[in-house]
A and B are shown apart, each in its own frame.
Chain A
Amino acid sequence: MKILIVDDFSTMRRIIKNLLRDLGFTNIVEADDGQSALPKLQAGGIDFLVTDWNMPGMTGLDLLKAVRADSKLVKLPVLMVTAEAKREQIVIAAQAGVNGYIIKPFTGSTLKEKIDKIFERIEAGG
């Protein structure tokens, strides 16, 4: 499975990459904002998107909306990993179609739990 990690801070991308490696996911690509992520997604082959929210250029929310609006990407599982923690924001993200929402700071076990949950739901046909 190929995973795309999008975050404007390279340190965070590195941490998430390491955590995913520990969970057995070794096929990982990165982008540092929504604008460079979208073409990578549209080129195909990516099975899972992990994205931050607060990024210059195109925010993670806008990236999520663009993914859901694209007929080829509409079913792509999207997990948001972000410092944005206002109640309204979580609701906005859920309504925009995010599959999971993790707030920073987070742990490896939270990441595993949310990824597992997303795939359970997909397998159950959700």
Chain B
Amino acid sequence: MTDKQQVDSKRIKQAKALTAALENDDHAEVERLIDALASERDVTLFLELGKLTRQIHDVMMSFALDNRVVELTEKDIPDAKERLNYVISMTEQAADTTLNAIDEMLPVAEVMAASVEDLATRWTKFLQREMPFAEFREMSKEITAHFGNSRDGLALVQSKLNEVLMAQGFQDLTGQVIKRVIDLVHDVEQSMVELIRISGKRFVPDMKLAEPASDEHLTQGAGPVVPGVDDRKGNTIASQDDVDDLLSSLGF
């Protein structure tokens, strides 16, 4: 029997007793029964009040949560997107700086290498006493020029290598920015756990969610494999050799 049914059944008994007492002119009993009915009413009232208080408490809890959710939605998550875009542009800049430095160094290194190769051959000829003096004089001038060019070339290489060194500083800055985004994701996770709890659903941490049945995530592309995150199902290929083996085993 529900609370209400119990209450109703009791009231019916009391009402019948009250009617009987009134018919019998038993005023003492009538008073007693009316008091009993009144205090029953109080109990019911208290039960209702208790339920209402509980509901208000839950609404206020979800209200406080709502504020956090609103804050996340209107400020923190857009901020996080900005921060991650910033990480992309910082890493792109660092890569460009490095590639530019390489583009400048490579031709210089090539010229120096060619010059060294050429002079080494001719120097060997000289050491084997197979070089006429006029040729030696020519080579001597070129060796002098070579030292000058190498000095300049190597100074350039050192300067560019220094630029590459400084460009790696992005890692510190992007690392800090990414840490902040990780904190935000943690906050979002916490809020969602709260929401799930309040909505009354059971939340089981580390629940093994079913993998999406469609191949869409395979054909759309899932991005680089992050060790420990993307390779849990054991269908990830680790190296180019494994790719080659797989393809040749399929006859490609």
Residues of A in contact with B (beta carbons under 8 Å apart): 9-11, 14-15, 18, 53-55, 59-61, 82-92, 94, 101-104, 106, 110
Contacts and interface: CB of A to CB of B under 8 A. Distances in A.
B213 interface: no
Contacts of B223: 54, 83-84
Interface in B84-107: 92, 95-96, 99, 102-103
B203 interface: no
Question: Shortest 9 CB-CB distances between A and B: which pairs?
Answer: A54-B221, A83-B224, A11-B95, A94-B252, A87-B235, A85-B237, A53-B221, A85-B225, A86-B235
Contact of B240 (A10, A15, A103): A103
B99 A110 contact: no
A18 B99 contact: yes
Given A15-B99, A86-B235, A92 B92 contact: no
B236 A86 contact: yes
A83 B236 CA distance: 11
Contacts of B243: 85, 90, 101-103
Given A86-B235, A103-B240, A61 B99 contact: no
Interface residues of B, number: 26
A92 B219 contact: yes
24 contacts: A9-B92, A11-B92, A11-B95, A14-B95, A15-B99, A18-B99, A18-B103, A54-B221, A54-B222, A55-B221, A60-B221, A84-B221, A85-B236, A86-B235, A87-B237, A89-B218, A89-B219, A90-B243, A92-B219, A94-B252, A102-B240, A102-B243, A104-B224, A110-B240
Interface of B: 92, 95-96, 99, 102-103, 215, 218-225, 235-240, 243, 246-247, 250, 252
Contacts of A60: 221
